[in-house]
Amino acid sequence: MHAMPSVERPTVAILLPPESRRLVLSEAAEQRLNNVARVHTIAETSLSMSVLRELVGGSSIWLTGWGTPPLADLLTDAPNVKLVGHFAGSIRRLIPEYALSGGLRVTHAAGAISDSVAEFVLAQILMALRHGDAFNTGMKAGQGWELRDRYPGRLLGALTVGIVGAGYVGRAVIRLLRAFHATVLLADPTISEEAARELGVERVPLSELIERCDVVSLHAPLLDATKGMLGTAELSRLRDGALLVNMARSPLVNEQALVAELKRGRIRAILDVFDEEPLPASSPLRQLPNVYLSPHAAGHTQDSHWRQGDLIVDEVERFVRGEPLQFEISAAAMRHMA
């Protein structure tokens, strides 16, 4: 009886500085990787091209994420790489589209981030509608029950909410909105009427969504077609008292036009992303009472970070076993992604 030949384990290069690697990979996830592959990591906090070239030598699987620089030049000199697993969501800045057309397989963890962003979107909307920050500040300053008259709230279920973009996050927000029985409109030219009905939403043009909705939440990718999709004209058509939420990409909205509209006091905004990050101390957004700011934090929870790590390790295991990947990105799909 002959022994079965052993299958050589692939080499996985983790193209992350130590801090980012610890953020997404639990000890259990790292052990799972070591069980199916030889794993190369680095101790350097700065990923220069020379460091990366040494790191990826002999590897066929690269794992990337926050802190990984663009990889176009590295890919040119790495014919053996077969799979890139991205611990974060957006892959466009790292991998050129032609690499996918040339046979490189890419998967990402956007599906694990979406729940974190969606929860934050709903939390911020509810806090704004019920003026929770004003109640808290007022009570601590010695004010009392008169705050209820000064800040009358709105019921989410009585409002019309517009979702712009039905990607991972947009769909996750729609799922959460169902529990509140709000009327939900969707603007997304890439999905069909049938797909919209399956989501339980009404698909409408962006111009109609802007005019009909009490809350407008942006979840579109940043593409040439979406950059500046909300400018002076669009913002002026928002309903009086409307709430604009942007936790996607700042350039979807003309920031100067938004500041001008907010200064009029007619609408409110919830912003997690900005043209310049970190947000400068001199930004006029910091001085406006009708805008709620957060430091690009919507997708960041420890739970979602570990889910991201687990998801990509799952994908590596599937790849090694020759099974289909669950979150693979095609070249065609990449053209419409964040």
112 and 88 Cβ atoms separated by less than 8 Å: no
Q: Are strands 38-40 and 61-64 parallel, antiparallel or unpaired?
A: unpaired
SS3 197: helix
What distance lies between CA 116 and its chain's CA centroid?
9
The gap between the terminal CA atoms of the chain, to the nearest Å, is 54
Set 38, 130, 296, 318: catalytic member: 296
Structural tokens at position 316 = 């590596």
Report the alpha-carbon distance of residue 255 to residue 257 in Å, rounded.
5
Q: Residue 246 — φ and ψ, nearest 5°? A: -130, 105
Set 19, 54, 198, 277: catalytic member: 277
Residue with tokens 């990826």: 56
Query: Mind giving me the DSSP string for 16-79?
Result: S-HHHHHHH--HHHHHHHHHHSEEE----SS--HHHHHHHTTT-SEEEE-TTPPP-HHHHHT-T
Q: Are strands 202-203 and 215-218 parallel, antiparallel or unpaired?
A: unpaired
Residues 6+ apart with CB under 8 A from 66: 16, 20, 23, 87, 88
56 and 15 Cβ atoms separated by less than 8 Å: yes
Structural tokens at position 275 = 């043209």
Q: Are strands 215-218 and 243-246 parallel, antiparallel or unpaired?
A: parallel
Set 86, 108, 249, 307: catalytic member: 249
Whether 296 is catalytic is yes
Beta strand segments in the chain, E: 11-14, 38-40, 61-64, 83-86, 105-108, 160-164, 183-187, 202-203, 215-218, 243-246, 268-271, 291-293, 328-329
Catalytic residues: 249, 277, 296
